[in-house]
Chain A
Amino acid sequence: AQTVTQSQPEMSVQEAETVTLSCTYDTSESDYYLFWYKQPPSRQMILVIRQEAYKQQNATENRFSVNFQKAAKSFSLKISDSQLGDAAMYFCAYRSPSGGSNYKLTFGKGTLLTVNP
């Protein structure tokens, strides 16, 4: 079974600075999907960014980018120019590409990000 590990329960960053959240995963599959979800105090789960394992290029969405190291099974999230609205719980998640019972998200335990003004 796949596992996802987020080793940083909490992180803090100054407004306008850059912060990197870590995620590692364990899998025997060669093709898969990785995600970062954001959960603000409203509780809503919001997709931040996705990465397909077969793509070597790191995904980028505005101020959010990932460092995907397939051999190391590492998938970190970098937030540039941090804003107060970025304060939230961030979850790393893995999904197998195969269908049926494997087509589900496995989550890490989350990293709580605080943004200081």
Chain B
Amino acid sequence: NAGVTQTPKFRILKIGQSMTLQCAQDMNHNYMYWYRQDPGMGLKLIYYSVGAGITDKGEVPNGYNVSRSTTEDFPLRLELAAPSQTSVYFCASGTTGKTEAFFGQGTRLTVV
């Protein structure tokens, strides 16, 4: 019963480096999301996908890219990491058959 799996759980990046945050779900959900959580700001949507091959921008997409080649996977790519991208990142999934979204355990990313 894995649900939504995010890797890694923690990461420290240097300014200018790139990395990919992995997200996989095994519930056959068509919707997947990436959120970032900053202290006192709640969760803000970065990108989302309504199905394989379809992605779109959320509120705060700058500095990120995504792809959705399969139903299960929705990786988030950070290019040229900046200190402003220091945050906790959450991947979530959902389906029209269920009203709530299911979350991964989050990735704490620090850019120094």
Contacts and interface: CB of A to CB of B under 8 A. Distances in A.
Interface of A: 4, 9, 33, 35, 42-45, 47, 50, 52, 91, 95, 99-101, 103-110
Contact of B42 (A33, A44, A95, A107): A107
Given A45-B92, A91-B42, A105-B92, 19 more contacts: A4-B42, A35-B100, A43-B108, A44-B105, A44-B106, A45-B103, A50-B99, A95-B99, A95-B100, A100-B50, A101-B50, A103-B50, A104-B33, A104-B45, A104-B58, A107-B35, A107-B44, A109-B40, A109-B41
A47 B42 contact: no
Contacts of B33: 104-105
Nearest to B103: A45
Interface string B46-61: 0010100000101000
A43 B105 contact: yes
Nearest to A49: B100
Contacts, number: 58
29 contacts: A4-B42, A33-B99, A33-B100, A35-B99, A43-B105, A43-B106, A44-B106, A45-B106, A47-B100, A52-B99, A91-B42, A95-B100, A95-B101, A99-B96, A101-B56, A103-B96, A104-B31, A104-B33, A104-B48, A105-B33, A105-B92, A106-B45, A107-B43, A107-B44, A108-B42, A109-B40, A109-B41, A109-B42, A110-B40
Interface of A is mostly: mixed
A57 B105 CA distance: 32
Query: In the complex, which range does the number of interface residues on chain B fall in?
Result: 20 to 34
Contacts of B50: 99-101, 103
B75 interface: no
A109 B44 CA distance: 10
Given A43-B106, A45-B103, A103-B31, A9 B96 contact: no
A110 B99 contact: no
